[in-house]
Amino acid sequence: MTTTDTGWLAGVGIADITGEPWGIGLMGYGMRFQRSVGIHLRQRSRAFVLVDPATDRRLVYVVADIGMFFRNVTDAVLTRLDPNLYDETNVVLTATHTHAGVGGYSCYRLYNMTTGGFRPHSYNALVDGVVASIEQAHADLAPARLVLSRGELHGASVNRSPQSFARDPDHDRATFPDAIDPTTTLLRIERDGRLVGAIHWFATHGTSLSNRNMLISGDNKGYAAYRWEREVHGVDYLDRPHVVTAFAQTNAGDMSPNVPDARKGPTDDEFENTRIIGSRQADSAQELAAVSGTELAGGLDTKLRYVHLPHLDVNGEWTPDGRPHRTGRAVLGAAFAAGTKEGPGAPPFHEGVDDNPALFAASSALFRLRPNVGDAQWPKTMLIPCGALGWTAETLPVQLVRLGPLVIVALAHEVTIVAGLRLRRAVALALDVPVESVLVQGYANDYAGYLTTPEEYAEQRYEGGHTMFGRWQLPAYLQEVTALAQQMLNPMPIEPAATRPRVRAPRPGRAVAMTVSPTTLQEPEPAYTAGDVVRATVRCDDPRGPVRPLYFSVEQRSGEQWQRVADDGDWSTTVTWHTDGTAWAAELAWRVPPDMTGEFRLRYLDETTAGFTVKAASAPRGARSAPGKGR
């Protein structure tokens, strides 16, 4: 395979990763009651493979509509790739951090406690889909141009922890006058002047949908990607992915999409909020795709090392007081259990240092008895020693990617904007590049909570309570990413920070049989007009067990043939399941798009419900909308 004058080989791929659609805990808010009952928007994995032909160095970059990656999923994906081409150093697996994705796929007990335990079918769907998207992208490799452009997006994020941000020094806060990081970055892949792929980075949480939502969704970033791809290529965009667009995270730790006050917004409808914030990101990306940008001339490098975070000695060069310190073992604070404005947690707990007095008194007593613990964790009101319990990762990957002038710092944390700024400054200084050329990619390759500045940590809001390794965690990372950047600039053997962790795969549960012979319980009405919601209910078997690539579709008659116009991966549809303990039923819903007329039918799996027609009308009849499908 050769290039012309492009300097790169690039390929794109997309695959489904939706897990079990009923009864599985959604990952993100950690609420036991938040179990899936149906599908709002399917979860996808979008993969990009980039190769520098001059050196044959390559990069796999994945953006998946999940809450986070964990070590067991990363390991499983790597074992199925060609080891002569791809390994942990040049594969970056990242999550959009949707809080409406199926959970139960982690190797760590902490993250399976509220999902109904480990769910092998959902785990397999995730691993299989990520691998399939990478294999597609590898097979799609062809000469391409890479173009980088930058901009700003306002109205899609707000700082949900202004009290913590206010503790940061003036010179840091001056970089973010609105207390947000509005920076947008777009990397686009072009062949013969045609866009085939794009990665858009912007910092905002996947929490437009609240912890009361029970429908699977990619949230605002999943919608942004869906809208762009569907808009360009219609319903068959997955069958023939001529363009794959991913909406990746950066330092989104304290960035909420719920403008203006982080609780909810911009409206009172969480599904409409998902569409609005997703649309703003999609619009931003498409605007950047239309500008000339900077073509990347070539040059690709990747570095990765593992860092054992507990008891890591940190040089005073990186600490605010200029003195050496040591990190602690992973501990979650009471502020973690309190949750955030977007998703309140357990009522007995509160954010803030002084709002959990009994627990704080107990922690303070321990700090006096164990000064090393106090130096690492003060003033955290300590609640769960998850490191000592073995409930979470303590040895974590730190990864650097250099792609022409773009440098990506990939970490397994949710990084606040000022913490991200300090990381970018440290790497920029070590590599002698502008700070604008460095991106922090959170939610990468594994997961272990938040990363705040020591000043923000002292406030002990949710983000500080979820910064597990204590107040010197960011200085430790500044030290480690600088060492990795120096190795990238001047390759030389260095002593590894830690050995690669090994994890034991959770024991699989028993499969649930799923042999479906649907029968229609409620047929659709004979006729509808644009804006109406078509509904039907079918009797079905238990939807748990092996996941299906498609449960529900809408088809339109075209002569003697039927053509699919929508399915359960579309914004215009929902499928929800119900049971009375002995029998199951699936409710299908489709909002009729504008300017659509003709003869239609609904299908559940391979069975057809009664057909119906859609007639032209001057205005919609105003039927009650399907959940989450308002336009």
Q: Which positions are annotated as active-site residues?
A: 256
CB burial of residue 385 (10 Å; 0-12, 13-18, 19+): middle
DSSP string, 523-556: PPPSEEETT-EEEEEEEE----SS--S-SEEEEE
3-class DSSP state for residue 187?
Answer: strand
Task: Evaluate whether 384 touches 415 at the Cβ level (below 8 Å).
Answer: no
* Per-residue b or e along 549-562, where b marks 16 or more CB atoms closer than 10 Å to that residue's CB: ebbbbbbbeeeeeb
Give the whole-angstrom CA distance, residue 119 versus residue 509: 7
Q: Which residues pair with 184 in a beta bridge?
A: 151
Q: What distance, in Å, lies between the first and last C-alpha atoms of the chain?
A: 45
User: CA-CA distance, 357 to 348, in Å (whole number)?
Assistant: 11
**SS3 sequence of 23-72:** CCEEECCCCCCCECCEECCCCEEEEEEEEECCCCEEEEEEEECCCCCCHH
* Bridging pattern class, strands 38-39 and 215-216: parallel
Question: What's the rounded Cα separation, in Å, for the pair 588 and 605?
Answer: 12
11 token code pair: 């390929």
The structure tokens 């042999």 sit at: 515
Q: How far apart are CA 162 and CA 483, in angstroms?
A: 32
Task: Confirm if 55 and 233 have CB atoms less than 8 A apart.
Answer: no
Residue positions counted in the chain: 631
186: which strand partners? 149, 200
User: Largest Cα–Cα distance in the chain?
Assistant: 81
> How are the residues of the chain apportioned to helix, strand and coil, as percentages rounded to the nearest 5?
25, 30, 45
Cis peptide before 260 (omega within 30 of 0): yes
Instruction: Scan for tokens 């994020």, then name that residue.
Output: 157
DSSP 3-state of 601: strand
